[in-house]
Amino acid sequence: MSDAAHAHDDHSHGHPSGIMRWLTTTNHKDIGTLYLFFAFIMLFAAGSMALLIRAELFQPGLQITNPDFFNQLTTMHGLIMIFGVIMPAFSGFANWQVPLMLGAPDMAFPRMNNWAFWLLPVAGLMLMVSFLLPGGAVAGGWTMYPPLFIQGGISYDLTILAVHIMGLSSIMGSINIATTILNMRAPGLTLMKMPLFVWTWLITAYLLIATMPVLAGAVTMLLTDRNFGTHFFNAAGGGDPVMFQHIFWFFAHPEVYILILPAFGIVSQVIPTFARKPLFGYASMVYATASIAILSFIVWAHHMFTVGMPVAAQLFFMFSTMLIAIPTGVKVFNWVATMWKGSMSFETPMLFAIAFVCLFTIGGFSGLVLAIAPVDIQLHDTYYVVAHFHYVLVSGALFAIFAGIYYWLPKWTGHMYNETLGKWHFWLSVIGMNIVFFPMHFLGLAGMPRRIPDYALQFTEFNQIATVGAFIFGISQLILLAVVLKTIKGGAKATDRVWEGAEGLEWTLPSPAPYHTFETAPVVK
């Protein structure tokens, strides 16, 4: 595909070592690693909260938490998983892979890249510390709805500031990624020749730039309502709490696609590699991704059917939401068509990618069910919704992250991971995930509300099954930790290409990828 023009030096020139290397680094690979480790740590923090939630729900009645602490756990689990795990993990992949896939020496703005990352641990720390403050952490739900979010204690201010900081970090990161993609591509690498992962990140970056400022605006108004006597969302002062919900979901629905589009990108890299065939319908994949992104801006009020709105508005948001199934269906069709008659092999990245296609589609279908306004009014705030978005975010986003880790880990570390452990991780994850989240559909249909620490007796069996699944899923993530640490430490030497069917500029580099790459731009033919 290209001339593999790259430097072979595998060290930094006079750069600081130890902790200062990581604090001051402007190297995209270092920063990618930092993002991924940060996401890993936060995954275990927010995952532990999920296990506490599931332990409490093993039986009706209160066992190990009180209702307020339970609400803190659900709120923080959601906030950290979204802003501290999924988003940073995809930023880690973007930092590592985008320059390598484009034949660029680094990101467009390496110093801003450093800032964008180091804002994150500050925000993460602020969120975690809020558990120790008087009144505990925020307990109003990750959606931060007023009036609850206006009435809480000091931890609410801290959380709002943390969201500001994480938003700033995301905007800086997105500007960097979009600018890199638009300006730093190797000669000959036209937009329609870019790997799908780069395309999905370009569109994700635009989504972030177009939605994060809206969230920042919403939480700024919350902050001034709390501290400066304004009444943006205070009905008693002439404000409108429903306005917050509109502004929030105008951000948060595109946010769902921010969390899933890079996952589509990873899966679109993995499947062709292990099917040993080019991606079926490349151009339609690009257009489908762009269509999903555009449609995501006109569907937000499907999260608010129960708030009350004119029937015409309900119909508009119902049908516009259903429309998203078309480009999503195009993508699922193309992944299946790529595998069709391919010389497939089933290494761990491919297993996670196939599980992604099957299970994400289940999450997509339950989303379609929830898009139907009269059905949503019945299922709103039940466990059906919890089942739906966990199928999208766990077997969707998280499984794609796992696929990406196994896929690129040999390129990053220079060592092959342990395939047996990888397969154990896959099977325990996929079985555990289904045991925990599939019964939640039944719980929701039977009317169990979400965000409650106690429940009626008839929900006990499905809750017990879900809790057993949660512990299987949770504990199996320790296998991933062991695999990653073991692979960093040593293992069989990875070849440059690593995978027989791998295509793209990153595979022309040695494994591990040298500290500085593509100092002279390669030419893509």
Nearer to other proteins, 191 or 377 (CB): 191
Nearer to other proteins, 36 or 178 (CB): 178
Selected from 50, 108, 207, 286, the binder of other proteins by CB under 8 A is: 108
275 binds other proteins (CB under 8 A): no
Would you call 28 a catalytic residue per the annotation? no
Nearer to other proteins, 169 or 413 (CB): 169
What residues pair up with 382 in beta bridges, in sequence order? 449
4 binds other proteins (CB under 8 A): no
Q: How many residues bind other proteins (CB under 8 A)?
A: 37
CB 335 within 8 A of CB 271: yes
Selected from 122, 129, 191, 326, the binder of other proteins by CB under 8 A is: 191
Query: Which SS3 state, helix, strand or coil, does residue 138 take?
Result: coil
**C-alpha–C-alpha distance, residues 524 and 190, integer Å:** 9
Q: Hey, CA dihedral for 295, 381, 473, 466, is it positive or negative? A: negative
Selected from 39, 80, 171, 275, the binder of other proteins by CB under 8 A is: 171
CB 23 within 8 A of CB 421: no
**C-alpha–C-alpha distance, residues 487 and 407, integer Å:** 12
184 binds other proteins (CB under 8 A): yes
481 binds other proteins (CB under 8 A): no
Site string for other proteins, 232-261 (x = CB under 8 A): x----------x---x--------------
Q: Of 180, 328, 429, 467, which is the active-site residue? A: 328
We find the least distance from the C-beta atom of residue 213 to other proteins, in angstroms, to be: 4
Per the document, the length of the chain is: 525
Q: Of 231, 450, 486, 497, which is the active-site residue? A: 450
Selected from 63, 343, 345, 520, the binder of other proteins by CB under 8 A is: 520
Selected from 4, 22, 51, 105, the binder of other proteins by CB under 8 A is: 105
Q: Hey, CA dihedral for 399, 400, 405, 407, is it positive or negative? A: positive
Q: Token pair for residue 505? A: 């500029």
Angle between helices 196-227 and 241-275 (to 10 degrees): 160
* Closest to 235 (Cα-Cα) out of 150, 293, 170: 150
CB within 8 Å of 92: residues ≥ 6 apart: 32, 33, 34, 35, 36, 38, 39
Nearer to other proteins, 105 or 141 (CB): 105
Site for other proteins in 392-451 (CB under 8 A): none
179 binds other proteins (CB under 8 A): yes
519 binds other proteins (CB under 8 A): yes
Site for other proteins in 73-92 (CB under 8 A): none
Nearer to other proteins, 135 or 188 (CB): 188
Q: Of 30, 56, 106, 376, which is the active-site residue? A: 106
* Closest to 357 (Cα-Cα) out of 384, 383, 339: 339
Would you call 441 a catalytic residue per the annotation? no
Q: Token pair for residue 46? A: 């927010």
* Closest to 400 (Cα-Cα) out of 270, 504, 300, 313: 270
Among the listed ranges 57-65, 207-215, 255-263, 427-435, the one in contact with other proteins (CB under 8 A) is 207-215
Would you call 21 a catalytic residue per the annotation? no
CB 458 within 8 A of CB 446: yes
Among the listed ranges 122-130, 310-318, 455-463, 515-523, the one in contact with other proteins (CB under 8 A) is 515-523
Q: Of 255, 347, 376, 506, which is the active-site residue? A: 255
Rounded to a whole number of angstroms, the CA Rg of the chain reads: 23
Q: Token pair for residue 99? A: 């320059």
Among the listed ranges 100-108, 129-137, 260-268, 426-434, the one in contact with other proteins (CB under 8 A) is 100-108
We find the least distance from the C-beta atom of residue 101 to other proteins, in angstroms, to be: 15
Amino acid in position 410: P
Selected from 178, 256, 370, 509, the binder of other proteins by CB under 8 A is: 178
CB within 8 Å of 133: residues ≥ 6 apart: 153, 154, 155, 158
* Closest to 511 (Cα-Cα) out of 405, 409, 402: 409
221 binds other proteins (CB under 8 A): yes
We find the least distance from the C-beta atom of residue 42 to other proteins, in angstroms, to be: 25
**C-alpha–C-alpha distance, residues 427 and 367, integer Å:** 25
**C-alpha–C-alpha distance, residues 410 and 273, integer Å:** 15
Q: Of 74, 169, 200, 382, which is the active-site residue? A: 169
Selected from 60, 141, 153, 188, the binder of other proteins by CB under 8 A is: 188
- b/e map of 244-269 (b: 16 or more CB within 10 Å)? bbbbbbbbbbbbbbbbbbbbbbbbbb
Give the binding site for other proteins (CB under 8 A): 5, 104-105, 108-109, 171, 174-176, 178-180, 182-185, 187-188, 190-191, 209-210, 212-214, 216-218, 220-221, 232, 243, 247, 519-521, 523
Residue numbers annotated as active site: 77, 106, 142, 169-170, 253, 255, 257, 268, 302-303, 328, 331, 450
